[in-house]
Amino acid sequence: MKRFILKTILILFVVLLFQNCATGNKYLSSETSISDVSNLDYFEPYSYIQLIKKGNKAQLNDSLSIETKNKLDSIITFNKNLYKIKKKLNINDALVNKKIENELSSLIQTAIQKRKLKGIKLTPVIDSVLESKNQRFALGIVATGFGRRKGNYTGQSAKAVAVGVLTLGLFAPIPIKSNLSLYSIIVDSEKNEITFYKNTLPVEKSPDDPNVIKKQLDKLFQGYLTQKNKGQ
C-alpha cells in the first residue's frame, strides 16, 4: 500500500509540473452550472506529506501527513458556509475509505493528464457510496507536500552555495524549505461525472500551518464556490 501511495505522490508532482506550465492553474468544469452545485458534502481529506531528514531524501511521514490532514479537515468544517459545503460524509468502513482514497487519487490523476473533464466517469465505490446516501455532489481534497527536519534546510543551503562556487555560478541548486499543494474535485453521481477540478500551485510554506492551508483552500474555490477577490 505504501508503494502505491508513493507512486501516487510522484505521479501527482510530475503531472502537476506539466499542467501548470500549460494551463496557468485554471480550474476545469463540466457543463453543469455552478448554481446547480448545491447541497455539497465532502469526503474525508487525504494527505501525503513527506519529511526530508538527511540530505535531500524524502520519505512519506505518517505523523506529518495526519497532522496536515486533521488541520485541513478542521478548517474545511469551520469554513463550510464560506465554501458552500453542507457536511462531511462519514464512512465508518476502513476498507471502503481506502478504496475511496485510491479512487479520488485516480480521478485527480486522470483529470490532470487529460486536461478536461468530459468523458471521465465516476469510479464504482465513490458512485455507489453517493447513491446509497442519496447524495448528488461531493467534494474530495488531497494534500501533498513536504517538510524538513530542523537544521536540514541550513545544511542544504550551504551545499547549494558550495556547488555554485565550484561551478562558477553555472549551476546552483536552491533547496526549498517546505511546500504544500492541494488538489480538489467535485463529483456528480447523477450525471456520473466530475463537475470541477483544480489544484493550487505549490507554496513554499510549512504544510501543516493552518494559515497556509486556509489560503490554499481559498485559492482552490475562488471564482467557483466563492467569488474571486478584487485585484486577483
Q: What is the pLDDT of residue 59?
A: 83
Give the predicted TM-score (pTM) of the model: 0.78
Is 49 a domain residue?
Answer: yes
- Domain encompassing residue 90: 2-221
Is 146 a domain residue?
Answer: yes
Is 230 a domain residue?
Answer: no
Q: What is the pLDDT of residue 1?
A: 52
| Cα(214)–Cα(133) distance, integer angstroms | 29
Is 231 a domain residue?
Answer: no
pLDDT of residue 155 exceeding 80: no
Is 232 a domain residue?
Answer: no
Is 22 a domain residue?
Answer: yes
Is 41 a domain residue?
Answer: yes
Q: What is the total count of domains within the chain? A: 1
